């Protein structure tokens, strides 16, 4: 009888031990939604690459409290409907504890209701202020708000004694949000918008809009969009002999824009995260260490420079790492810990979240840069 009891207890202990070991070794699944193909691939591919790079680095260092991370990433191709379907798949089938992405504003806006309904943290890589204003309980973002980018441009124009501008914005989610901020913040900075025009995401010629702008009283042009449209604007402006200073949004803050625009990119100015000028930042900059390490590792793995967009995903994964370390690998624990994040020096800036701020950045996340000799130069 004693022998049988001992056997039962031994088997029970073995089962418990095996279950505990299995639980301890289970991976923590993080979802990724990136536009790796399609028109927004210049955003999604580096984001996907950076996310995997960070996950691999965390795992090499032992994971999070002994548990490895697993990135379950899907290609949305920039399609909002597909993004919603894949977000649902990540939550229902893959059982992820949080999602990084999507890449674009339109996709992200479509996925927000899914994250809120399912109570899963979403860290978007898109920039629209509308994603987090008003604040949603489970939605955060790493891309700098477009309003902060507008503020940087307007402040710079004020220093240049420019007060009349033409704006040319793409008619998609990113462009609409930027146009809204450009108009809303103009008066505050003494800026008068003398031409307000748009172009379509697939348009291949903007000469009519630029001809109208050339004939106006504008002292500068602000183009708001993502590749390839802004490169077309730059080329058309050069072809038409438009002499007005041309400013772009942070939506073209990568070498891809310079490749697309070619010689027409020379002299264009825009607000950007510090990563593209990390090598010339002062040693006192709190982001510099992270930026240089990121650029070096990305270059080693992918043979190209890590950019502004790859940084959005780097920040997303690292912010989740910190939240899991502090709050555990549950949906609620991650959300609550993420909201308490303070002074995290990432690629996009120094993040401090709160119950009323799920963007976490200030205008200091941006610097003004200029394209010189097909490279980036820091403007003072």
pLDDT digits (tens, 9 = 90+) for 255-296: 999 999 999 999 999 999 999 999 989 899 989 988 999 999
Do domains 24-144+287-361 and 147-272 share one topology? The answer is yes
Q: Where are the alpha helices (DSSP H) in 187-240?
A: 207-214, 229-240
- For residue 114, is the peptide bond before it cis, meaning its omega torsion is within 30 degrees of 0? no
Give yes or no for residue 6 having a pLDDT over 50. Answer: no
Predicted local confidence at residue 282, as pLDDT: 87
Rounded mean pLDDT of 351-360?
98
Taking only the tens place, the pLDDT of each residue in 131-184 is 999 999 999 999 999 999 999 999 999 999 999 999 999 999 899 999 999 999
Tell the CATH topology of 147-272. Answer: Rossmann fold (3.40.50)
Q: What is the pLDDT of residues 103-116, one digit of tens each?
A: 999 999 999 999 99
Q: Calculate Rg over the CA atoms of the chain.
A: 23
Alpha helices in 133-243 (DSSP H): 146-159, 173-186, 207-214, 229-240
What whole-number distance in Å separates Cα of residue 46 and Cα of residue 34?
9
Identify which has the larger pLDDT, 239 or 24: 239
DSSP state of 51: H
Band of the pLDDT at 50, cuts 50, 70, 90?
very high
CA distances from 283 to 198, 280, 298, 304 (A): 41, 9, 21, 24
**Domain residue ranges of the chain, discontinuous segments joined by +:** 24-144+287-361, 147-272
Instruction: Check whether 7 has a pLDDT greater than 80.
Output: no
Within 13 Å of residue 345, how many CA atoms lie on the same side as its CB? 13
pTM of the prediction?
Answer: 0.86
The whole-number pLDDT of residue 37 equals 97
Mean pLDDT across 13-35: 66
Report the range of poorest mean pLDDT among 55-59, 127-131, 339-343. 127-131
Q: What is the pLDDT of residue 24?
A: 44
Residue 380 has a pLDDT of 81
pLDDT category at 305 given cuts 50, 70, 90 is confident
Beta strand segments in 58-120, E? 69-75, 98-100
Give the separation between CA 157 and CA 151, rounded to whole angstroms. Answer: 10
- Does the domain at residues 24-144+287-361 carry the CATH identifier 3.50.50.60? no
Would you say residue 15 has pLDDT above 60?
no
Give the mean model confidence (pLDDT) for residues 302-312. 92
How much of the chain, in percent, has pLDDT values that exceed 90?
A: 87
Mean pLDDT score of the chain: 93
């Amino acid at each position: 009888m004693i022998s049988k009891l001992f056997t039962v207890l031994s088997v029970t202990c073995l089962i418990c031990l095996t279950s505990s070991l299995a639980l301890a070794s289970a991976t923590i699944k993080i979802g990724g939604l990136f536009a790796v193909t399609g028109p927004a691939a210049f955003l999604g591919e580096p984001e996907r690459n950076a996310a995997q790079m960070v996950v691999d680095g965390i795992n090499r260092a032992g994971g999070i409290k002994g548990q490895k991370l697993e990135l379950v990433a899907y290609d949305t191709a920039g399609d909002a409907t597909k993004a919603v379907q894949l977000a649902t798949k990540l939550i229902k089938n893959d059982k992820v504890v949080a999602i990084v992405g999507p890449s674009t504003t339109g996709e992200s806006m479509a996925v927000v209701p899914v994250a809120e309904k399912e109570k899963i943290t979403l860290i978007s890589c898109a920039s629209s202020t509308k994603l987090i204003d008003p604040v949603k309980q489970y939605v955060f973002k790493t891309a700098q708000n477009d309003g902060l980018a507008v503020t940087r441009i307007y402040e710079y124009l004020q220093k240049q004694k420019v007060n009349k501008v033409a704006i040319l914005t793409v008619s998609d989610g990113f462009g609409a949000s930027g146009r809204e901020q450009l108009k809303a913040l103009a008066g505050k900075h003494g800026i008068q918008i003398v031409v307000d025009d748009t172009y379509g995401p697939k348009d291949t010629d903007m000469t009519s809009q630029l001809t109208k702008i050339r004939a106006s009283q504008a002292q500068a042009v602000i183009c708001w969009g993502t590749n390839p449209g802004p490169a077309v604007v730059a080329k058309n402006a050069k072809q038409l002999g438009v002499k007005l200073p041309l400013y772009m949004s942070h939506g073209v803050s990568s070498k891809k824009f310079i490749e697309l625009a070619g010689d027409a990119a020379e002299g264009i100015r825009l607000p950007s995260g510090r990563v593209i000028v990390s090598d010339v930042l002062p040693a006192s900059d709190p982001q510099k260490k992270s930026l240089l390490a990121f650029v070096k590792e990305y270059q080693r793995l992918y043979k190209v420079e890590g950019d502004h967009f790859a940084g959005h995903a780097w920040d997303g994964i690292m912010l989740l790492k910190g939240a899991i370390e502090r709050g555990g690998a549950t949906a609620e624990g991650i959300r609550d810990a993420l909201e308490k994040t303070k002074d995290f020096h990432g690629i996009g800036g120094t993040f401090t979240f709160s119950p009323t701020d799920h963007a976490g950045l200030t205008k200091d996340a941006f610097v003004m840069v200029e394209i010189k000799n097909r490279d980036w130069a820091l403007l003072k």
